[in-house]
Amino acid sequence: MTEVENVLILGSGPAGLTAAIYAARANLKPVVVEGIQPGGQLTITTEVENYPGFANGIMGPDLMIEMRKQAERFGTRFIQGNVNQASLSRRPFKITLDEEVRLTKTLIIASGASARLLNIPSEMKLMGHGVSACATCDGFFFKEKKVLVVGGGDTAMEEAHFLTKFAREVKVIHRRDSLRASKIMQERAKNNPRISFIWNSGVEKILGEETGKVSGALLKNLKTGALSEEAADGVFMAIGHEPNTSLFKGQLELNEHGYIITHKGTKTSVSGVFAAGDVQDYIYKQAITAAGTGCMAAIDAERFLESEGHS
């Protein structure tokens, strides 16, 4: 017989690990499935300066190591691997990892979202060295510098606008000649004297691989095919995020962008299943808000188990 867990947590970013700390301290002996990117998106950032409690900042990967240790200290068990099937129609819920099956009374989904990337080799090589997918995290490092923002949606406009607090010049690179962003966000960006636009253009390559530091981008005009180099100190990818929810389509209520809909805290449309962090949040997307909802999910799961007579 497969043992039935009290709480199974999918994901090991700030949401998943905070849920684990709380659930473990409530003596629920949680299990965390670490996923394909243990530690989540913070493991691909450099310095984190806006996580409270670290007056001098902390490196993203170090913050996640500390959180993991804290969860472990109270008895969290970790399993590596990726979930390839989730069955939520009956309790206990059934989660399949490769060939292994796990049963659980409650499930906390903290599988996050992944920044959409261009998937060109130079992008990954220079990630954290001038390439970023998060202006809130990394904008501060571009004081009085020139940066490029790739994308034409609300995220791109928001990131471009935010970056002008630091950068002296922001150029938005968009693949078409009209923006997808809402009118109000477009106006704000267009009225900002530090923001200008390069239309109908795609990024062929990010420059700077030889020095290990971004020096610009090779752009291609998608109408004429002409190539040109644009010097810059940073390149911000703002072409959207994909919530990691493909396993739950048809099983949980998702919004039109694929994010899990939560109500009354972290409850999902299936009783006993909770969601925390970026998998249910496309607005704030911060480590601290993810941690906050992770804490809420653990408390919600604990109360659910209590209401079901778990002792």
Could you write out the DSSP letters of every residue in 21-52?
HHHHHTT---EEE--SSTTGGGGG-SEE-SST
235, containing H or E segment: strand 234-237
Cβ proximity to ligand NDP: between 78 and 199 the closer is 199
Q: Is 152 in the site for ligand NDP (CB under 6 A)?
A: yes
- Which of the ranges 19-27, 147-155, 214-222, 242-250 carries the binding residues for ligand NDP, by CB under 6 A? 147-155
Residue 6 in 3-state DSSP? strand
Q: Is 243 in the site for ligand NDP (CB under 6 A)?
A: no
How many residues lie near ligand NDP (CB under 6 A)?
18
Site string for ligand NDP, 155-194 (x = CB under 6 A): xx-x----------------xx---x--------------
Q: Is 118 in the site for ligand NDP (CB under 6 A)?
A: yes
- Token pair of 161 as six digits: 């606008």
Catalytic residue numbers, as ranges = 134, 137-138
Q: Is 73 in the site for ligand NDP (CB under 6 A)?
A: no
Contacting residues for 75 by C-beta, under 8 A, at least 6 apart: 24, 29
Q: Is 34 in the site for ligand NDP (CB under 6 A)?
A: no
162, containing H or E segment: helix 154-163
DSSP-derived secondary structure letter, 94: E
Cβ(212)–Cβ(127) below 8 Å: no
Q: Is 41 in the site for ligand NDP (CB under 6 A)?
A: no
Q: Is 302 in the site for ligand NDP (CB under 6 A)?
A: no
Cβ proximity to ligand NDP: between 34 and 154 the closer is 154
Whole-angstrom distance, CA of residue 267 vs CA of residue 93? 15
Q: Is 65 in the site for ligand NDP (CB under 6 A)?
A: no
Q: Which of residues 257-286 bind ligand NDP (CB under 6 A)?
A: 257, 282
Given its phi and psi angles, is residue 265 left (phi above 0), alpha (psi -120 to 50 degrees) or beta?
left
Q: Is 222 in the site for ligand NDP (CB under 6 A)?
A: no
Cβ proximity to ligand NDP: between 189 and 298 the closer is 189
Taking the chain, what is the end-to-end CA distance rounded to the nearest angstrom? 21
204, containing H or E segment: strand 201-207
Nearest to 248 by CA among 42, 86, 50: 86
Write down the least CB distance from residue 257 to ligand NDP, Å.
6
Whole-angstrom distance, CA of residue 150 vs CA of residue 215? 15
Binder to ligand NDP among 5, 154, 300, 302 (CB under 6 A)? 154
Residue 96 pairs with which residues in a beta bridge?
Answer: 85, 101
Write down the least CB distance from residue 97 to ligand NDP, Å.
30
Binder to ligand NDP among 57, 128, 153, 258 (CB under 6 A)? 153
Write down the least CB distance from residue 49 to ligand NDP, Å.
21
Applying CB under 6 A, the residues found at the interface with ligand NDP are 116, 118, 150-156, 158, 175-176, 180, 239-241, 257, 282
